Amino acid sequence: MPVEVVDAIVVVYTHRDTHEVQLVSPPGTPIATVSINKDSAGYSDLLGWIVTHAPGPRLAVSSQATSSYAAGLARAAAAAGLLVIETEQSHPMPRRGKGQSDPIDARSAAVTALQLNADQLGTPGAADDRDALRILLGARQDLTTTTTRQSTRLRALLLTGDGTDRRIARAAFTEAALISLVRRPEPRDATRQQSVRHAEIRRLAIVLIATGRELKANSAQLRTIVDDLAPGLTDRRGIGPISAAQALVSWSDPSTVPDQRRPPALEAIG
């Protein structure tokens, strides 16, 4: 339990522009409170405040949304060597004054965090990996959209050509087929229209080769991260790196991924 390994816990409530922070002892006694700006200067101020008020060096930071609203603070805390714990907000947070949270709620959240088992602690590395998966999935969506659009244009151009071009248009655009189009010489005595058409076919083929290779690299990166977060998941029938990455991103909360390894929601997938 965290209560056995920390001198104090830093409880964070997230808001749009600020974070409300309370330092609490392991028994749940409030030590100090502060409000910081949600930016790099605010995170720096928070670290200085923690050093000034903490009763000992073994500290943990407890917050909701460490991969979204509190991502910046979580990264700053992790970089400073602090343990980062992601907790659920089990009830609405009362407000007081200009958006400040009621101190009793911060104390309750601290007690909840201190009672978590070790295998429920969110680790900064796991959060970073999930962020990496989100970035790679977003990039893959862009690459897939580009591939679909360019493939459609290339097929349309080829279908206006001779019998050979039309056969190519109806087949799969493998890398070998695309390389063949890139290397194809321009017809002798080509008209301006033929020259432009030839150049555009070549350009589209080059783009598709490049995006195809980027998609393969993207898939390899996804598989590497997925295998680190959930070993053996992609070995299951019907689960590839893309679907596994999307599942890990969707079920990334520690309450649903207790050990950051095997999402219970995926146990039924075989």
Please write the tens of the pLDDT for every residue from 54-66. 887 777 787 765 5
| DSSP-derived secondary structure letter, 269 | -
As given in the structure block, the two tokens for residue 177 are 């087929």
Residue 94 confidence (pLDDT): 41
- The model's pLDDT over 145-168, given as tens digits with 9 standing for 90+, comes to 999 999 999 999 999 999 999 999
Pairing of strands 18-24, 8-14: antiparallel
Residue 90 confidence (pLDDT): 41
CATH code linked to domain 2-122: 3.30.420.140
Helix, strand, coil tally for the chain in percent (to 5): 55, 15, 30
Residue 174 confidence (pLDDT): 95
Q: Look at residue 178 and give its three-state secondary structure.
A: helix
Q: Are 209 and 178 in contact (CB under 8 A)?
A: yes
28: pLDDT confidence band, cut at 50, 70 and 90?
confident
Compute the average pLDDT of residues 255-266: 40
Compute the average pLDDT of residues 238-246: 85
DSSP conformation letters of 43-95: HHHHHHHHHHH-SSS-EEEEES-TTTTTHHHHHHHHHTT-EEEE----S---E
Cα 107 to Cα 22: distance, rounded to the nearest angstrom: 8
Cα 155 to Cα 169: distance, rounded to the nearest angstrom: 5
Whether the full predicted model's pTM is greater than 0.75, yes or no, is: no
- The model's pLDDT over 88-110, given as tens digits with 9 standing for 90+, comes to 544 344 444 444 444 445 555 55
As given in the structure block, the two tokens for residue 254 are 């520690």
- The model's pLDDT over 168-210, given as tens digits with 9 standing for 90+, comes to 999 999 999 999 999 999 988 999 999 999 999 999 999 999 9
Sequence ranges of the domains in the chain: 2-122, 126-266
31: pLDDT confidence band, cut at 50, 70 and 90?
confident
Residue 235 confidence (pLDDT): 82
Most confident of 189-193, 226-230, 240-244: 189-193
